[in-house]
Each structure stands twice: as structure tokens, then as C-alpha cells.
Amino acid sequence: MREGLDRVVDALRLAAAGLDQLFERKGIKSHMMPNPDGHPWIRVMHPMDEVRFIGITPNRGDGPIYLKLRVFLYEQYKDEFDRLLLGKFFSFEGMALQRNPAYPSPSWLRYLEDEGRPVVGYETTINVSAWPNESFHARIRSLCEKFCQFARAAVTGGAEYDALPDTRPSKPAPAWLRDEAALEELQGNHDLGESEILALVKIRIGQSDYRQKLIQRWGGCSVTGCKLTEFLIASHIHAWGKCASADERWDPDNGLLLTPSLDKLFDRGLIGFDDNGNVVIHPHLARGQMHHFGVDQNIRLRRDVLNKHLGIMKYLKLHREANGLAPLSAA
């Protein structure tokens, strides 16, 4: 057990007892338990009609220890979820904590939706590494109780919600930084295979402000001009996992909006684009096979946007080099 985690586990074990009594629903249970790989956490199951569960768990990996506090609601309760995600911040000891949507792993999501009812999640984190020993257990218990009370008030609404403190962070984290933290957590999740991580990265990027920036820039598909943005996929040019920095990962020049078939071909490195936007086709994909994907073999990036944002060329070159794509002029 890594340094400092043992005292967190002890404190959580004591804090778990009695959290169920904060809710009026009968027959619920709060307890401390390990997940399948032995990672300890608190969960309160079905504390309210609207709530699937409340969970409190330490983060994985090395470094400072954070507690992650999560609430998963049934998706049908949209007003209640909006209060959690868009309303008052959860605050502890006068400090408002940043919040984000929560994205469970595929296996955990299957468990959460075992009743056939989709769920949506809210999460926040707090660094507890520096809390002194003499007050540690009491503060952990207070944190757990106040988070449960916050969740109950946000879901219930009315006077209980109105009574919550309306504290706000002095400097909210930029959206790209929150997304970066979530993606780093996904990458460090040893329960997931590489293909699962890449799929979840796609989902996260598709729900981020990054996608909105690409929509504003391109106004539709980067190739076809299709305006039905709900069907388009935000795709990195230079793959997310190969970027050298967060700046590269969230640089709008490193993104395209593509139809699903184009995204799949581009993501697999079967097609790319030269500096003029002309399509470059991988040797494994014969030019005459393009029509099988519903794609014209003479496609090109839209020049009206490409000419305004020359930084895109840097990433197009990195994509070609990574996938063994040679422009026709260099052949």
C-alpha cells in the first residue's frame, strides 16, 4: 500500500458507518469495500429514488492522494442532474471544489446499468495528502457526510438546496485542463485495454469544448462540408496518445471534423492529407477501394479553412509520418 493510503483507508472505513442514515429511504446500505482489484472505496447504494449510488474512493497511482466523490443518477432525472453539474458547487471548509461529468469504465457502466436504466454521473476531487493526523479521521468523516448531504440537497431541490452555500472557485479551471485530467486518468486505468481507452478518449473528446471549437472553425465536415454536426466526429490529426504536450492535444490546428467513414479511415492511418489538402492513400488501401466506404477517391480538405490555419500542416505531416503515408509528389 503506497505511503499515506493506509490512513485514508482506515478513515474511510470509519466514515462509511452511518452514511445511510442521512437518507430517508429504508433498506439502503453504506459500506466500505474493495473493488475487484482490491482498491478500497465507500459506496452508498440506492439512497434515493433518483440516485443509483454515491461513491467515495482514493485515486490510483503514485503521488498525492485525492479522494474522488461521485454521484450517479438515473438519466431520466435531467433537472436533478443539471443542478449537480450546473448549479451550486460542493464546498468543504469554505473551499468550492471543481466538478466534472463522471465517466465509468465499460465494465462498471454495465454494472451501473444492470437494471436497463441509463445513468449519468457527477464527480469532484479533493487533495487530502497534507491533512494532519490529529484531525484526519474527523475531517474525512465530515467530508463524506457533507458530500452525501450536498447530493441529497441537489437532487431534492427546494429549501434544502437553497440553503447550500453558494461558493464559487475564484479561478475556474479552463475546460481543456479539466478534460486533460480526465483523459490522463483514463490512460492510467489499468483495468482497461488499449482499445477501450482509445474508445473512451474519443467519447470524452466528443463531449468537450474542443469539439465545439472545431465546429466553430470548420462549420461542418472538414472534407465534405456536411453541416449535420451531430453526426460528425472530432478527430485528432496527430494521435492523442502521441502528442508531446497538452498544448498539442488541445490545439485546434490538430483537429478535424469528419464523417464516421472518413474518421475511421483517417484514424487507422489508411488515408491522410498532404500540405495542400489532397488525399493520400495508404498502400494497403487501393485507390479503387475507396468507394466501398462511400468515399470519393479524389477527396480533399476544404481549402477555405486550410488556407486560414496553416498550423494544420504541421500535424498533417506528423500524421503522414506516423502512418507511412507519402504524398504523391514525393512518390
Query: How many residues does this entry show for the chain?
Result: 331
- Per-residue pLDDT, averaged over 181-206, amounts to 51
The residue with greater pLDDT, 23 or 300, is 300
SS3 at position 53: strand
Give the mean pLDDT of 4-9. Answer: 82
Percentage of the chain beyond pLDDT 90 is 35
Written as nine digits, the cell of 23 is 437518507
Is 256 within 8 Å of 214 (Cβ atoms)? Answer: yes
User: What's the pLDDT tens digit per position in 239-295?
Assistant: 877 877 767 877 899 999 999 889 989 988 999 999 999 999 988 887 677 777 777
What's the pLDDT at 322?
Answer: 92
Which pLDDT tens digit goes with each residue over 36-85?
A: 445 677 888 888 989 998 999 887 666 788 899 999 999 889 889 888 98
User: Angle at CA 197, nearest 5°, toward 196 and 199?
Assistant: 65
**Residue 158 phi, psi (nearest 5):** 70, -150
Q: Contact 317/310 with Cβ under 8 angstroms?
A: no
Residue 178: its pLDDT value, please? 46
Q: Which set of grid coordinates corresponds to residue 47?
A: 439512497
How many C-beta atoms lie closer than 10 Å to residue 34's C-beta?
A: 10
Let me know if 278 is exposed, middle or buried by CB neighbors in 10 A (0-12, 13-18, 19+).
Answer: middle
Distance, in Å, from the CA atom of 230 to the CA atom of 241, rounded to the nearest integer, reads 25
Q: How far apart are CA 167 and CA 192, in angstroms?
A: 36
Confidence (pLDDT) at 285:
81
SS3 232: coil
In the chain, which segments carry CATH 3.30.1460?
A: 5-162
225, pLDDT greater than 70: yes
> Is the pLDDT assigned to residue 4 strictly greater than 90?
no
User: Helix, strand, or coil here: 215?
Assistant: helix
Neighbours of 286 (CB within 10 A): 11
Candidates 155, 171, 138, 161; CA nearest to 52 is: 155
Flag whether pLDDT at 150 surpasses 80.
Answer: yes
pLDDT band for 327, please (50, 70, 90 cuts). Answer: low
For residues 73 and 51, the answer to whether their CB atoms sit within 8 Å is: yes
Q: Which of 71-75, 85-89, 207-211, 295-299 is predicted least confidently?
A: 207-211
CATH number of 5-162: 3.30.1460
Q: Give residue 287's pLDDT.
A: 65
Comparing 247 with 142, which gets the higher pLDDT? 142
Please give the model's pTM, rounded to 2 decimal places: 0.53
